[in-house]
Amino acid sequence: MRREKYQWSPAVKPFLLFWLIDWLIKSLNSLRLVTNFDSHFSIYNFFSDLEQDGFSKNPFFHGIIAEVPEQHKTKEGHTKIGYALYFYSYSSWSGRAIYMEDLYVMPEFRGKGVGKALMSKVAQLALAAGCHQLNFTVLDWNKPSMDFYLSQGCFDITATMGYHCLRCEGEALQHLAQP
Amino acid sequence: MDFSIRAANLDDCKDIARMIMELAEYEKVSDHVKVTQKDLEQDGFSKNPFFHGIIAEVPEQHKTKEGHTKIGYALYFYSYSSWSGRAIYMEDLYVMPEFRGKGVGKALMSKVAQLGLAAGCHQLNFTVLNWNKPSMDFYLSQGCFDVTATMDYHCMRCEGEALKHLAQL
């Protein structure tokens, strides 16, 4: 049997959690630099947030990991070189849907089909669950990602249909919640 | 005007389906609606629901000429931000035209915000059509901000044949 180049492991084994979360923090920190997102979050809270929110009884998200064999690990010793986070969502027009919150591959492993394989796995999971849509967001100036997604048959709902993402958070959310 | 806000139950699916169609007509996309009352029953009210609903109801004496007392709804589900953590997503917010301007929409959205905070969520997210000025003005007045306009995020979708194709490695 041909050995798979990449191993797929639904990230549920508790004993992998420490490495996953440690690696995830570093990756998200580097992603934060790439997107110039100016946000403060505590590493220690973040550590336990992923454990509780992704791996308890009613998870808020699920994750998939892309891993390479030991001989291809990075100079820092990482074999987990990409990930996707997703959760189940709903469209009142089309029904069950899946939302891909993150898709990331470490820079030195790009252009080798890892991102495509991660996204493909999310699509498979979506179809298996009876979903009709895979939704996500992308920054419109992120041309490599935008080109990749359009090449995979995705379309830009903001550009074509005029949908804007809106958000309420912080003090405004507290205020809105007052009866 | 007297109205009440409560969690939706299985029996509300008929009215939710009716109002989904009314909202789609308002957004000029009624031919896009594929969800049926039965889909709503299975997807919203079985063991692991894909969404939750809240209903705005008026007393009998204020019912519409067709006899409806359920005059508004919101659909929401729990979501996640890898930056901020737990979040709530408001999929639909709708009030029948003759009941607008009386605080029903605000009350529905406020309930979604309360439910979000109760569940430990830090964000309430949703989408709005950029030409829908009354809705956009309402949301901005409630302290929401436009993530697309200010941070350049675009909503993307893969569906139909493209989704099936993507799923094949």
- Chain B: residue whose CA lies nearest to A131: B159
> Class of A4-136 per CATH?
alpha beta
B21 touches chain A (CB under 8 A): no
Is B139 a residue of the active site?
yes
d(CA A138, CA A140): 6
User: Residue A7's pLDDT is what?
Assistant: 55
Q: Indicate the pLDDT class of residue A11, thresholds 50, 70 and 90.
A: low
A147 touches chain B (CB under 8 A): no
- Chain B: residue whose CA lies nearest to A32: B83
| Subunit contact B83:A163, Cβ cutoff 8 A | no
User: Residue A33's pLDDT is what?
Assistant: 38
The closest CB to that of B128, out of A133, A166, A174, belongs to A166
Segments making up each domain of chain A, as ranges: 4-136, 138-179
pLDDT tens for residues A24-69? 656 665 554 333 333 334 444 566 899 999 999 999 999 999 999 9
B32 touches chain A (CB under 8 A): yes
Measured CA distances, B47 to A58, B33, B52 (Å): 12, 24, 12
User: Residue A44's pLDDT is what?
Assistant: 44
Looking at the structure, give the CATH architecture of the domain made up of residues B4-126. 3-Layer(aba) Sandwich (3.40)
User: Residue A45's pLDDT is what?
Assistant: 54
d(CA B130, CA B98): 23
d(CA A37, CA A29): 10
B46 touches chain A (CB under 8 A): no
pLDDT tens for residues A64-121? 999 999 999 999 999 999 999 999 999 999 999 999 999 999 999 999 999 999 999 9
B169 touches chain A (CB under 8 A): yes
pTM exceeding the 0.80 threshold for the entire prediction? yes
Mean pLDDT, residues B94-116 taken together:
97
The Cα of A68 is separated from the nearest Cα of chain B by a number of Å equal to: 18
A118 burial type by CB count under 10 A (0-12 exposed, 13-18 middle, 19+ buried): buried
Closest CA to A170 of B64, B63, B74, B87: B87
**In the predicted structure, residue B72 carries a pLDDT above the cut 70:** yes
| Subunit contact B51:A168, Cβ cutoff 8 A | no
d(CA B35, CA B50): 13
**In the predicted structure, residue B137 carries a pLDDT above the cut 50:** yes
Higher pLDDT, A39 or A127: A127
d(CA B80, CA B77): 10
Sign of CA dihedral A176, A178, B1, B5: positive
**In the predicted structure, residue B76 carries a pLDDT above the cut 60:** yes
